[in-house]
Amino acid sequence: MDHQQPLRNIADIGEFSLIEELTRTFRSEHTELIEDIGDDAAGIIQDNENVQVISTDLLVEGIHFDPMYMPLKHLGYKAVSVNVSDICAMNATAEYITVSIAVSSKYSVEALEELYAGIKAACDNFTVRLVGGDTTASPFGLTISITAFGNVKKEKLTTRSGAKNFDLLVVSGDLGGAYMGLQVLEREKEVFKSNPAIQPELDGFDYIIQRQLKPEARKDVVAILSALEVVPTSMIDISDGLASEILHICKSSSVGCHVYGEKIPMDTQTIQTALDFNLDPVTAALNGGEDYELLFTIDQKDIAKIQSNPNFTIIGHITDANDGIYHIDKQGAAVALKAQGWKHFS
Amino acid sequence: MDHQQPLRNIADIGEFSLIEELTRTFRSEHTELIEDIGDDAAGIIQDNENVQVISTDLLVEGIHFDPMYMPLKHLGYKAVSVNVSDICAMNATAEYITVSIAVSSKYSVEALEELYAGIKAACDNFTVRLVGGDTTASPFGLTISITAFGNVKKEKLTTRSGAKNFDLLVVSGDLGGAYMGLQVLEREKEVFKSNPAIQPELDGFDYIIQRQLKPEARKDVVAILSALEVVPTSMIDISDGLASEILHICKSSSVGCHVYGEKIPMDTQTIQTALDFNLDPVTAALNGGEDYELLFTIDQKDIAKIQSNPNFTIIGHITDANDGIYHIDKQGAAVALKAQGWKHFS
């Protein structure tokens, strides 16, 4: 370390640049590796036909979850779902997970049993098997580390980098719900803080709260795509928000994109809640994260198979890189799409 | 949760029981799984010939390391080494790792670069490849999560549960050094705290400090055993201390054991430092952890191959379970071997 230079603050760098910076010296040509460090999942070729893919995530109390309004059972479920979602994003099938926890003494054994009940429910629901883990003490709160392993036939493996000009941009399910669910939960938390006697007002918000607390990895989408005989040209799961994920695909694939705000699928509860909070629903869908839907691109030849399927919505198309990356609003105005960046350090 | 019962404190349960308790509902018959949850590594059969083994560990600031006397480069090296060691303990060859970190803003980018320089050095030394990871913020200190993946031919896979009556108990390298290195570092830390002007007195302790700060996974031992055509009947790496690991093997294998204190290999620097600290060197070797040597059992037919090899020392033999588990001291007195248990929560 050269202490002549002032030390750099992590917050000034951002998550993606930080990973790139730290792992710069590790990069080299390895043919067995499909995606490299910094991606959500890594692919390791096992034999001539199959690819093993790996995804790993850390969930930290006070950063990724607040135990005050995140029941531990839901947290366990979500932790597994998030990692299975990363495996789905490579068009692969999740098979195994490891779960490690670091936990402070403020948690009782019963509380941890709740956490593991949620992990178990997710394992059962997504048909993945817990094969190992580590349990240790922590001086502060709870940290959960999950690694998921999946498999995919080599010719079906999908990364972020295969989108090409004229491909169509497709999303599964609907967006913005998890973000609006979080807004409702945070509002009720503030009410509770000021007066614990007041019961939380959650009636009518069940769908969006479910989207926030118990997100479902779209393992079914991988199966549907297989049944439709569609191999996406690129794919990513929507964890940080639609805008951010579109930018990831465009950067990795060296392409541009037009996304149409009015095409973005949203549940009526999401739209209504956004309006109640004086938020633009499209902005919530573009920038609110944690929906864990899949965003992918398809070749135009597959349009008929996708267009007619109720699980999917075509929301835009890929352009040449020189055309840029734009959100086209209702009035037809093009606004350059912006990344939300990584807010956790700020 | 039944709130009629008082909630149980994690500290009253201990690490191993906690894992067992939390993952009880996950247990079932799965033929593809060699070792199950709660072991350090899990084995997943990939095909008819090869087994993939997985190991995962969490390292938490304030629990597993103290940045005040653990340079970050060494910490990175050790984190990888510990996981490679778990893979070695299954007689397997480590190939890939994932590394995730949760880090508070008190760490500069340069500090994290030091950490990754250590991770890189270990990857190069142990010929393992970093294939992915996650980087996130933390409200408190640094947490490192590492998962390692290895491969082994099915017939060479070694677990904790294969030791049988009359087998010999063998250890690689020498023991107690890492523990005595820690004692020296802690003494110097106290001196530094009381007067930062005093330079640490580390001369003459280089070997044992190296053992504590930069432990080497015995990947070479796996290769030596292969060259000797010896497949251990059981194996474990010495992370928690020799006594604790012997008890693990005996419990998993349903056998007893006699271990001879005077046979335990120790470096002269370890012995001398123990005496200076008024500690019994054998106690330091039996109960001091973090040496990351390999402890294994062999069939008597392999005695000649092992006995003549300078990397190995025969320190005892396996007995019938009914005979119990004993440390035999210099005077020939048998003392029941005791687990140190898991101190991190207390």
φ, ψ for residue B276, nearest 5 deg: -60, -35
Contacts of A109 in chain B (CB under 8 A): 7-10, 13, 18, 21
Supply the pLDDT for residue A303. 97
Interface test with A, best of B17, B99, B106, B109 (most A CBs within 10 A): B109
Please tell me if residue A291 touches chain B, with a CB cutoff of 8 Å: no
Residue B80 CA, distance from chain mean position: 12
CB B150 within 8 A of CB B90: yes
Q: Give buried/exposed letters for A273-309 (b at 16+ CB in 10 A, else e).
A: bbeeeebebbbbbbbbbbbbbbbbbbbeebeebbeeb
Ramachandran quadrant class, A287 (left: phi over 0; alpha: psi -120 to 50; beta: rest) = alpha
B116, A46: Cβ pair inside 8 Å?
Answer: no
pLDDT one-digit tens code per residue, A284-341? 999 998 999 999 999 999 999 999 999 999 999 999 999 999 999 999 999 999 876 4
Q: Which residue has the higher pLDDT, A75 or B42?
A: A75
DSSP for residue B80? H
Contacts of A121 in chain B (CB under 8 A): none
Q: Taking the domain B168-336, which CATH number applies?
A: 3.90.650.10
Interface test with A, best of B130, B147, B149, B345 (most A CBs within 10 A): B147
Supply the pLDDT for residue A188. 86
Cα(B223)–Cα(B218) distance, rounded to whole angstroms? 9
Please tell me if residue B134 touches chain A, with a CB cutoff of 8 Å: yes
Of B55, B105, B143, nearest to A9 by CB-CB distance is: B105
Please tell me if residue B114 touches chain A, with a CB cutoff of 8 Å: yes
State the burial class of residue A234 (Cβ atoms within 10 Å of its Cβ: 0-12, 13-18, 19+).
buried
Which residues lie closer than 8 Å to A205 by C-beta, 6 or more apart? A181, A184, A269, A273
Supply the pLDDT for residue A50. 87
Supply the pLDDT for residue B341. 40
State the burial class of residue B8 (Cβ atoms within 10 Å of its Cβ: 0-12, 13-18, 19+).
middle
CB A110 within 8 A of CB B112: no
Please tell me if residue B57 touches chain A, with a CB cutoff of 8 Å: yes
CB A273 within 8 A of CB A208: yes
Which residues lie closer than 8 Å to B286 by C-beta, 6 or more apart? B241, B242, B243, B261, B264, B327, B337
Of B13, B103, B139, nearest to A10 by CB-CB distance is: B103
A140, B135: Cβ pair inside 8 Å?
Answer: no
Both tokens of B338, joined, read 């005791």
Interface test with A, best of B136, B159, B346 (most A CBs within 10 A): B136
pLDDT band at A246 (very low <50, low <70, confident <90, very high): very high
Interface of B with A in 19-48 (CB under 8 A): 19, 21-23, 25-26, 30, 33, 35-37, 39-42, 44, 46-47
Measure B262 CA to nearest chain A CA, in Å: 33
Q: List C-alpha distances in Å: B66 to B4, B94, B101, B294.
A: 40, 27, 16, 25
Contacts of B18 in chain A (CB under 8 A): 109, 112, 135
Supply the pLDDT for residue A1. 44
A140, B139: Cβ pair inside 8 Å?
Answer: yes
Supply the pLDDT for residue B162. 94
Measure A159 CA to nearest chain B CA, in Å: 14
Of B30, B112, B137, nearest to A63 by CB-CB distance is: B137
Domains of chain A, by residue range, sit at 10-156, 168-336
pLDDT band at A90 (very low <50, low <70, confident <90, very high): very high
Which CATH topology does B10-156 take? 60s Ribosomal Protein L30; Chain: A; (3.30.1330)
Interface test with A, best of B73, B80, B103, B138 (most A CBs within 10 A): B138
Is A13's pLDDT higher than 80?
A: no
Q: List C-alpha distances in Å: B6 to A48, A110, B2, B241.
A: 56, 10, 9, 34
Cα(B324)–Cα(A265) distance, rounded to whole angstroms? 67
Nearest CA in chain B to A21: B113
B132, A55: Cβ pair inside 8 Å?
Answer: yes
* pTM (2 d.p.): 0.83
Supply the pLDDT for residue A31. 44
Q: Which residue has the higher pLDDT, A37 or A243?
A: A243
Nearest CA in chain A to B145: A145
**Cα four-point dihedral sign A31, A33, A37, A39:** positive
Please tell me if residue A147 touches chain B, with a CB cutoff of 8 Å: yes
Q: Which residue has the higher pLDDT, B40 or A255?
A: A255
A56, B105: Cβ pair inside 8 Å?
Answer: no
Supply the pLDDT for residue A29. 46
**Average predicted confidence (pLDDT) for chain A:** 87
Q: How many CB pairs under 8 A join A and B?
A: 229
Contacts of B121 in chain A (CB under 8 A): none
Supply the pLDDT for residue A341. 40
Supply the pLDDT for residue A43. 73
Please tell me if residue A107 touches chain B, with a CB cutoff of 8 Å: yes
Residues of chain B scoring pLDDT < 70: 1-5, 10-11, 13-20, 23-41, 45, 340-346
Please tell me if residue B109 touches chain A, with a CB cutoff of 8 Å: yes
Q: List C-alpha distances in Å: A232 to A29, A164, A177, A301, B340.
A: 25, 11, 25, 11, 54
Supply the pLDDT for residue A34. 52
Q: Give buried/exposed letters for B322-344 (b at 16+ CB in 10 A, else e).
A: eeebbbbeeeeeeeebebeebeb
Nearest CA in chain B to A96: B44
Supply the pLDDT for residue A65. 87
Contacts of B135 in chain A (CB under 8 A): 15, 18-19, 22
Interface test with B, best of A18, A56, A95, A113 (most B CBs within 10 A): A56
CB B232 within 8 A of CB B328: no
Q: How far apart are the first and last CA of chain A?
A: 25
Query: 3-state DSSP call for residue A257?
Result: strand
Q: What is the mean pLDDT of residues A62-81?
A: 89
Same fold: A10-156 with A168-336: no
Is A118's pLDDT higher than 90?
A: yes
Residue percentage of chain B with pLDDT more than 70: 87
Supply the pLDDT for residue B339. 72
CB A77 within 8 A of CB A119: yes
Q: Give buried/exposed letters for B70-108 (b at 16+ CB in 10 A, else e).
A: bebbbbbbbbbbbbbbbbbbbbbbbbbbbbbbbbbeebe
Nearest CA in chain B to A113: B22
